Amino acid sequence: MLARRLKVAAVRSCDCGIQGPENLILLLAERLRESRVDHLIVNLWDGQPPHVALHAEATRRGLASEVVATGWDYDPSVVGKLRRLLQQEHVDLVHTYGAKAEVVSLLARAGLGIPLVGSYFGCFPVWPLRAQLAEATSLVSLRFFRRVLANSRTLRDELVRFGFPRRRIDVIPSFVDTVEVRPSTAEERKTARVCLGLPAEAPVLIQLARLHPEKGHRYMVEAMPRVLEAHPGTVYVVAGEGWLMEELGRLAVGLGIADQVRFLGYWPDRLEVLKAADVMVVPSRREGMSVGLLEGMATGLPIVATRVHGSTEAISDGTAGLLVPPGDSAALAGAVIRLLDDRSRMRSMGAAARQTAEARFSADRVGRDIMRSYEVALGLRPRGTGPEADLDAAGERRVESGVASDDQTEW
Indicate whether 293 belongs to any domain.
yes
Look at residue 124 in the predicted model and tell me its pLDDT.
58
Whether 28 and 144 map to the same domain: the answer is: yes
According to DSSP, the β-strands at 116-120 and 147-150 are parallel
Task: Say if residue 349 is in the same domain as residue 387.
Answer: no
My answer on whether 367 and 222 are in the same domain is: no
Residue 409, in any domain of the structure: no
Distance, CA of 94 to CA of 185 (rounded, Å): 40
Residue 196 placed within a domain: yes
DSSP string, 85-147: HHHHTT-SEEEEESHHHHHHHHHHTTTTT--EEEEE----TTS-HHHHHHHHHHHHHGGGSSE
- Residue ranges making up the domain that contains 228: 186-360
- CA-derived radius of gyration, the chain: 21
Residues 234 and 347 grouped into a single domain? yes
Task: Assess if residue 411 is contained within a domain.
Answer: no
Burial of 63 (0-12, 13-18, 19+ CB in 10 A): buried
Q: Are residues 82 and 201 in the same domain?
A: no
**Is there a contact between 293 and 311 (Cβ–Cβ < 8 Å)?**
yes
Spatial distance between the Cα atoms of 146 and 186, rounded to a whole number of angstroms: 48
Same domain, 267 and 157: no
| Strand, helix or coil for residue 403 | coil
Residues 225 and 132 in one domain: no
Tell me what pLDDT residue 99 has: 87
Query: Residue 100 falls within a domain, yes or no?
Result: yes
Are 47 and 62 in the same domain? yes
Together in a domain, 34 and 96: yes
Split into its structural domains, the chain has a count of 2
What are the phi and psi torsion angles at 65 (to 5°)?
A: -150, 140
- What spatial distance separates the first Cα and last Cα of the chain, rounded to whole Å? 9
**Shared domain check, 375 and 297:** no
DSSP 151-218: SSHHHHHHHHHTT--GGGEEE----B-TTTS-PPPHHHHHHHHHHHT--SSS-EEEEE--S-GGG-HH
pLDDT at 389: 42
Residue 408 lies in a domain: no
Do 114 and 198 fall within a single domain? Answer: no
Interhelix angle 217-230/329-341, rounded to 10 degrees, is: 50
**Domain-embedded: residue 137:** yes
CA 289 to chain CA centroid, nearest Å:
6
Q: What is the CATH number of the domain that holds 255?
A: 3.40.50.2000
DSSP string, 232-280: TT-EEEEEB--TTHHHHHHHHHHTT-GGGEEEEES-S-HHHHHHT-SEE
Shared domain for 300 and 199, answered yes or no, is yes
In what helix (H) or strand (E) does residue 7 lie, and over which residues does it extend?
Answer: strand 6-13
pLDDT in single tens digits along all 411 residues of the chain: 555 789 999 999 876 677 888 999 999 999 887 778 899 999 998 766 667 889 999 999 999 999 998 777 778 899 999 999 999 999 999 999 988 899 999 999 999 999 999 999 876 555 555 556 666 788 899 999 999 999 999 899 999 999 999 999 999 999 999 999 999 999 999 999 999 999 999 999 999 998 988 899 999 999 999 999 999 999 999 998 888 999 999 999 999 999 999 999 888 888 999 999 999 999 999 888 899 999 999 999 999 999 998 899 999 999 999 999 999 999 999 999 999 999 999 999 999 999 999 999 999 999 999 999 999 999 987 766 556 544 443 344 443 333 333 333 332
pLDDT at 392: 41
Does some domain include residue 1?
A: no
